[in-house]
């Protein structure tokens, strides 16, 4: 076959080639995040009621949204934050859209700030999760009780701070268990603790 014919066939069949490895990795990352969100929604709507302490439950969905923001950036975290928040709003439609907005804002903020933080440090991850949880609860309680600001502050102090701390504890436990499973554990540099 002449060289020009092979080039023509190669250029024509270029549209039929399988996706590149980077595109395929991107698809796999999105599927991975979607499965994590689905698992977190299942846990959030069924299991966290059983581990509630004085009515305070960890926000498992928010842990995953923060994880997506740190790993993949603001666009994916915003989209997955909106979808997960919307599904939580469907589960509890009293304040429709409030969770979707709060999770979207948190996902965007974490994804946007990931370039300026050292996301591999456990202390930074814990602080990012704590701030994200507090921002989420301020938005959620602020929008759901906009007619009664006193109720917002009461809910924030009664549930918001406890939820944030509980979410950080569960999130760091998840990080620890995942690091043991896939990376052989967390290796702390004792010299850095005294800086």
User: Checking phi first, is residue 76 left (phi over 0); if not, alpha (psi -120 to 50) or beta?
Assistant: alpha
Cα distance between residue 63 and residue 49, in whole Å: 17
151-187 pLDDT tens trace: 888 888 888 999 999 999 999 999 888 878 777 656 5
The two tokens of residue 43 are 């846990």
Q: What percent of the chain has pLDDT over 70?
A: 83
The two tokens of residue 47 are 């299991």
pLDDT band at 12 (very low <50, low <70, confident <90, very high): very low
pLDDT band at 1 (very low <50, low <70, confident <90, very high): low
Residue 125 to residues 82, 129, 161, Cα–Cα distance (Å)? 21, 6, 17
pLDDT of residue 156: 87
Q: Flag whether pLDDT at 14 surpasses 70.
A: no
Query: Taking a C-beta distance cutoff of 8 angstroms, is the pair 57, 49 a contact?
Result: yes
Cα distance between residue 80 and residue 30, in whole Å: 9
What mean pLDDT is reported for the chain? 84
Residue range 73-92: mean pLDDT, rounded: 94
Q: What is the CATH number of domain 19-186?
A: 1.10.1760.20
pTM: 0.81
């Amino acid at each position: 076959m002449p060289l020009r014919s092979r080039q023509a066939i190669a250029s024509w069949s270029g549209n039929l080639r399988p996706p590149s490895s980077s595109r395929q990795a991107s698809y796999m990352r999105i599927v991975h995040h979607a499965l994590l969100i689905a698992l977190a929604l299942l846990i959030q709507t069924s299991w966290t009621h059983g581990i509630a302490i004085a009515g305070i439950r960890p926000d498992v969905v928010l842990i995953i949204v923060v994880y997506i923001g740190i790993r993949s950036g603001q666009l994916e975290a915003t989209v997955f934050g909106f979808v997960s928040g919307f599904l939580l709003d469907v589960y509890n439609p009293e304040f429709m859209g409030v969770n979707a907005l709060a999770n979207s804002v948190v996902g965007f903020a974490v994804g946007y700030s990931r370039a300026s933080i050292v996301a591999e440090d456990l202390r930074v991850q814990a602080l990012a999760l704590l701030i994200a949880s507090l921002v989420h609860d301020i938005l959620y309680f602020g929008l759901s009780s906009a007619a009664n600001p006193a109720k917002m502050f009461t809910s924030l102090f009664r549930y918001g701070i406890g939820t944030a701390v509980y979410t950080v504890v569960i999130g760091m436990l998840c990080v620890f268990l995942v690091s043991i499973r896939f990376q052989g554990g967390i290796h702390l540099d004792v010299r850095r603790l005294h800086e």
